[in-house]
Amino acid sequence: MSRQPLVPPFAVITGAQVAQVLTGSEKQVVNLVEDIYRTHGRGDSVNPPSYFLRFPDRPSARIIALPASVGGAHPTDGLKWISSFPENVEAGIPRASAVLILNDHRTGYPFACLESSIISASRTAASAALAADRLSRGERPRRIGFIGTGLIARYIHHYLEATGWTFDAVGVHDLSQEHATAFADYLGGRPGDRTVVVHDSSEELIRESDLVVLATVAGGPHIHDPAWFAHNPLVLNVSLRDLAPEILLASANILDDVEHCLKADTSPHLTEQLTGSRDFIDGTLFDVLEGRVELPEDRPVVFSPFGLGVLDIALGRYVHDQLRDTGRLGVVDGFFHELDRYGRDSAQAAPERR
């Protein structure tokens, strides 16, 4: 007698539910992200290259598929499907939207579909907060500057704040004065006594910041002068394409994953193309966590995270399990219909026709 593996129930998880689970759990999320970096660094994951769907009639837009499989205590497979349509901002809606599909590690059956823009922003912010903590040399920086003032910048600031960071001064710069002012107003309304300054240029902001967060939608380098970084700040190169190769060549460079970062014309990829070498890379964040990299005091440190799908899968699984364990999971009954290869179950379940 054959044994049919258990088909998991299928759940749909809304953005509101994701926010309910993650709000107030920022430290746990950062710890989870660290655990997954370690899992990935030990080779207990599968993280293929991201796949880009581009459109000849909409060159600024793209939709990216990030398949991944993560091991550890809760092995899970899945796919993030995330779009980036910058022109949405002018229409008053966020640039990015996303869904996440989680698959059962044993049967391959999908067991959840989650709204994932919040998961994506949270894992990006948690990764940035973890890197800022582990890549700070000596005391944590007290002057932070944001170039790019959208949702990702807001989430990074929130995660830094939620994990104990405080700042004496916060700088913001954006090509849109309206967006820069709105972000400055948001920051000024947060608890604490700090100076918030809207800078007229990237140069002015960088020179006045010891921690620089790049969170733009730039398609190519617009920051070229290493002299702007003479005070050796820590740079979170989250948007990946703002810095020209000469900046990276004058810095210590930490990546989340070497093979992933060196593609799609990111700043590290352009640097490799220029030099024909990867010698400018000092290591990965996993290497830093393992104590394998000593950070220099006399150069800027640049963290370039491509963004790993394993982080999305693990965080999505965390959200799913929290909802399941508290009885709040919204299961779709009968989502899988054909569960017998000869249709016997389907025939028995078919409603009687009148």
pLDDT digits (tens, 9 = 90+) for 46-100: 999 989 999 999 998 999 999 999 998 889 999 999 999 989 988 988 888 999 9
Which tokens is 86 given? 């910058």
* Residue 115 sits in the same domain as residue 174: no
User: By C-alpha distance, which of 350, 339, 296, 312 is closest to 82?
Assistant: 312
Q: How far is CA 327 from CA 145, 164, 320, 323, 331, in A?
A: 42, 31, 11, 6, 10
User: Per the domain annotation, does 3 fall within a domain?
Assistant: no
Percent of the chain at pLDDT > 70 equals: 95
* Residue 299 sits in the same domain as residue 313: no
pLDDT band with cut points at 50, 70 and 90 for residue 347: very low
* Residue 155 sits in the same domain as residue 286: yes
Residue 2 above 70 pLDDT?
Answer: no
* Residue 160 sits in the same domain as residue 287: yes
**Which residues are CB-contacts of 293 (< 8 A; sequence separation ≥ 6)?**
254, 282, 283, 287
* Residue 342 sits in the same domain as residue 241: no
Summarize the confidence of residues 222-245 as an average pLDDT: 98
The residue segments making up the domain with residue 34 are 11-119+309-349
User: Per the domain annotation, does 2 fall within a domain?
Assistant: no
Q: What is the CATH number of the domain that holds 145?
A: 3.40.50.720
User: Per the domain annotation, does 5 fall within a domain?
Assistant: no
